[in-house]
Amino acid sequence: MQRFRFWLICLLLAAAAPLHAQERVNVVASFSILGDFVKNVGGDRVDVTTLVGRNGDVHVYDPAPSDAKTIAGAKLLVINGLGLEGWLPRLLQSSGSKAPIITATRGIAPLKIGSDADPHAWQSVANAKIYVANISDALVVADPADAEVFRANAQAYLARLDALDREVREAVAKIPPSRRKVISTHDAFGYFAAAYGIEFVAPLGVSTESEASARDIAGIITEIKREKIPAVFLENISDPRLIRRISAETGARIGGTLYSDSLTGEKGDAPTYIELVRHNIKALTGALAD
Amino acid sequence: MIYDALIAPFTEFEFMRRALAAVIALALGGAPIGVFLMLRRMSLVGDAMAHAILPGAAIGFLLSGLNLFAMTTGGLIAGFTVAILAGMVSRSTGLKEDASLATFYLVSLALGVTIVSIKGTNIDLLHVLFGNILAMDDPTLLVIASNATITLLVLAVIYRPLVIESVDPLFLRTVSRAGAPSHLAFLALVVINLVNGFQALGTLLAVGLMILPAGIARFWSRDITGMICIAVASAILSGYAGLVLSFETKVPSGPAIILTAAVLYVGSVLFGSVGGLFRQMFPGRHLEA
């Protein structure tokens, strides 16, 4: 019995040892854009895992058992909050995780859609800076030894975001004010619209789950014709045929794809948050220019 | 006023005209199929098939990404395989058609989930595959229309053996060998109609416009020809009324069409001339006349 206990302890130590040897902090982010922020702040001091991967739809995600395992092994869990991850509470409960949870949108005044908060706050670069600051603070608490690294990384990344913000504003300024209006299938761009003054009209509700009625589509077609909206945009998640139909019926130009809720793969148009915003603003200026 | 509500939506918006054309084509192809499904007690086959096509769609997705054509073709192949295998098993053994179909579709679904997980993506493939009645483009409309044409032509060819087999399979077996081929051709038609219906309109609408009108027709006619005509007519009527309802209120179009059909169904259950509840309660007058 003694002997057995000895081996058992040895085994436990052996299992626990790698965690100590490798000092990287295990961070789990709920979706790919948050994962990108964490990677930029954490650098090589953190291991980031995202629950909803690239190109995945975070609104309708169906967690797998492996996700519970991922969460259980995390030192820190980064979520967006504002009701985006509706599937998360049950997953947390079943994983039995004790990791602190950081809500990256803390301190952002949410826009409202109906009576609910609009969760897509990262679409404004100014908000992205708040995300980064929150994540940096949380990482410092989770791993005080690397605090300096995290602060320096965050400073560098915030400077790049500032430059990005200026870039977007300059690009929008070149579009004639009367043409700053587009249709997109997914009204994920509320914060973008509020920050940069481009109006988005959407045929579906705030969630990609709801189905459009004939009344909605007719309303949009009438709206495009009345307001002379120059462009409609496809989304990387919703049904593109609906947009094509609206475009065929109104003569509005079909813009490229706008990425809203997820990054693309490494070879796609939007492998990082900064590239995502750049891609979106390029697509918008391209379609809205005369 | 009545013009504004019932006709103006269609003259004003092209997408409404296209939706109406799609619903009519779907009714012409799907409703007769639905009648035969009902007579063969296979009314739930549509929902089973919606799951059975998953592995085919997933393989199409693995080979060529989010390509609708590849995914639909894959879905068709998977659907055919499941339907034909189930049909063959039930014809050659004692297992009933619904039981063998249930087995095959569950296996197919499990296979599909496995294949999807290989790619490690969480995109809902079926969600991508299922279309919307309001988004009819030219290719989709053409597919639905040719689909309805093929269905009607093939049904015309296999009509006799199919009817006899639905009513008295033993008799057919004694007089003809057309039973098996016509049964399999019928299953193939079911799959084509469903998969194309899913791709164009979504599950609810494709299955609903097939089965509900058959249920309605059952209460108004005793012979199969009459049932088919009534089923087609009620499918077209609920399609039209559902589109108008979706235009006037904000109900999504698919559910609006099916709910309209459901109202017709409830009316038929209550007042239908064949076995409707009122007729059962007051049968006397009918017999005297």
Residues from chain A that touch B249, judged by Cβ atoms under 8 A, are: 213, 215
Residue A210 has pLDDT above 90, yes or no: no
pLDDT score of A19:
46
Per-residue pLDDT band for A282 (boundaries 50, 70, 90) equals very high
Asked whether the beta carbons of residue B121 and residue A246 sit closer than 8 angstroms, the reply is no
| Beta carbon pairs, A and B, within 8 Å | 86
State whether residue A223 sits within 8 Å of chain B by CB. Answer: no
* Residue for token pair 């014709």: A225
State whether residue A8 sits within 8 Å of chain B by CB. Answer: no
pLDDT score of A169:
94
Residue from the list B132, B243, B249 with its beta carbon closest to the beta carbon of A211: B132
Best residue in A62, A245, A247, A263 for a mutation probing chain B (most B CBs within 10 Å): A245
The upper half-sphere exposure of residue A280, i.e. CA atoms within 13 Å in the direction of its Cβ, equals 30
Residue from the list A57, A214, A246 with its beta carbon closest to the beta carbon of B253: A214
Instruction: Please say whether the beta carbons of A27 and A78 come within 8 A.
Output: yes
Distance from C-alpha of A191 to C-alpha of A147, rounded to nearest angstrom: 31
pLDDT score of A60:
76
Instruction: Please say whether the beta carbons of B253 and A245 come within 8 A.
Output: no
Instruction: Please say whether the beta carbons of B54 and B113 come within 8 A.
Output: yes
* Model pLDDT for residues A60-102, shown as the tens digit of each residue: 788 888 888 888 889 999 999 998 888 888 888 888 888 899 9
Residue A238 has pLDDT above 70, yes or no: no
* Model pLDDT for residues A35-45, shown as the tens digit of each residue: 999 999 999 99
Asked whether the beta carbons of residue A57 and residue B124 sit closer than 8 angstroms, the reply is yes
Q: Read off the pTM.
A: 0.68
pLDDT by residue, tens only, chain B of 289 residues: 778 878 888 888 888 999 999 999 999 999 999 999 998 888 888 788 878 888 888 888 788 776 667 877 888 899 889 888 888 888 888 888 888 888 988 898 888 888 877 766 555 666 666 677 887 888 888 888 988 999 999 999 999 888 888 877 778 777 777 778 888 888 889 888 887 777 767 777 788 888 999 999 999 998 899 999 999 999 999 999 999 998 888 788 888 999 999 999 999 999 888 888 887 787 665 555 4
pLDDT score of A12:
55
What DSSP string runs through B233-272? HHHHHHHHHHHHHHHHS--BHHHHHHHHHHHHHHHHHHH-
Per-residue pLDDT band for A149 (boundaries 50, 70, 90) equals very high
* Nearby residues of A7 by Cβ (< 8 Å), 6 or more positions away: none
Residues from chain B that touch A213, judged by Cβ atoms under 8 A, are: 246-247, 249-253, 256
Residues from chain B that touch A242, judged by Cβ atoms under 8 A, are: 132, 134-135
Residues from chain A that touch B15, judged by Cβ atoms under 8 A, are: 214, 217-218, 221, 245-246, 249
Residue A131 has pLDDT above 90, yes or no: yes
* Model pLDDT for residues A150-175, shown as the tens digit of each residue: 999 999 999 999 999 999 999 999 99
pLDDT score of A65:
83
State whether residue A249 sits within 8 Å of chain B by CB. Answer: yes
* Model pLDDT for residues B204-229, shown as the tens digit of each residue: 778 888 899 999 999 999 889 999 99
* Residue for token pair 């796609």: A268
